[in-house]
């Protein structure tokens, strides 16, 4: 036994304290059972993962030929119905972000062929003017250029208000501006360098939609959100691009309906 001392009412009192033994430090039966259960669960999960790694690719290859024909038929029917009942956009006002190149540029040309009035937004003013000139040659009654950066909330407010001031209305907002950084998540030397991708891809759409919604309500207009399959089929080395796509879809679906 060990001795310990304490003071009580000004007097020194000695106590006998049982020493720690090796037995007192051993885990309880309940703790041992928990550790054993965790070990068995880990082994079971490893077996399940190995089973899935073997079976899933095989099942996917077998079922793919049966899945693709109905899928393509559905896409064909959807496209046909869309062409038959397509909206007449002649004379309507369409604002397109990221219109200086790529998808945004060609969307501008498609709208121009159908006679829509265009407000083209991007940071490169000279390139925008080239796109606007070509759009007017194709068939757009008017194509205006408004330089702007979708990552800046004041720019988004400005180009929406400038469009409505010039045309008197807004019918379609096309949130197209986006970037696709290519880098493994763990390979970023500074994680803050990934922020611009989210600022452009998601917040650029959010800012634009926020200021456009009051005008779209008046015209019973639409928000056309440009996103890719990366939202439901993530692509290696494109983490932040893949993350932004479902957010854009959710934003467009829940904006004002």
- Beta bridge partner(s), residue 6: 13
Which is catalytic among the residues 109, 111, 210, 241?
241
> Given the DSSP bridges, would you call strands 117-122 and 93-97 parallel, antiparallel or unpaired?
parallel
- Could you tell me the CA-to-CA distances from 98 to 143, 149, 192, 219, 231 in Å, in that order? 15, 9, 23, 23, 20
Is residue 159 within 8 A of residue 212, CB to CB? The reply is no
Angle (CA) 7-11-17 rounded to 5° is 50
- Spatial separation of the C-alpha atoms in residues 27 and 129, rounded to whole Å: 76
Phi, psi of 87, deg, nearest 5: -75, 140
- Spatial separation of the C-alpha atoms in residues 121 and 177, rounded to whole Å: 9
Is residue 207 among the annotated active site residues?
no
- Spatial separation of the C-alpha atoms in residues 200 and 226, rounded to whole Å: 12
Write out the catalytic residue numbers: 241
């Amino acid at each position: 036994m060990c001795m310990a001392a304490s003071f009580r009412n000004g007097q020194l009192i000695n106590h006998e304290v049982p020493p720690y033994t090796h037995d007192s430090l051993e885990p309880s039966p309940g703790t041992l059972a928990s550790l054993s259960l965790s070990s068995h669960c880990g082994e079971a999960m490893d077996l399940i993962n190995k089973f899935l790694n073997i079976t899933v690719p095989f099942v996917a290859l077998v079922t793919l030929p049966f899945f693709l024909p109905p899928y393509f038929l559905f896409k064909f029917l959807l496209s046909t119905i869309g062409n038959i009942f397509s909206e007449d956009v002649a004379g309507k006002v369409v604002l397109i972000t990221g219109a200086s190149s790529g998808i945004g540029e060609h969307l501008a040309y498609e709208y121009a062929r159908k006679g829509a009035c265009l407000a083209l937004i991007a940071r490169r003013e000279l390139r925008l003017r080239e796109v606007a000139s070509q759009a007017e040659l194709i068939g757009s009654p008017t194509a205006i250029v408004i330089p702007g950066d979708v990552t800046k909330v004041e720019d988004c407010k400005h180009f929406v208000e400038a469009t409505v001031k010039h045309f008197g209305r807004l019918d379609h907002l096309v949130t197209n501006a986006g970037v696709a950084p290519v880098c493994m998540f763990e390979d970023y030397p500074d994680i803050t360098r990934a922020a611009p991708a989210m600022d452009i891809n998601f917040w650029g759409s959010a800012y634009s939609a926020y200021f456009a919604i009051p005008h779209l309500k008046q015209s019973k207009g639409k928000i056309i959100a440009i996103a890719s399959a990366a939202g439901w089929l993530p692509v290696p080395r494109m983490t932040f691009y893949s993350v932004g796509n479902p957010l854009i879809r959710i934003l467009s679906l829940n904006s004002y309906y």
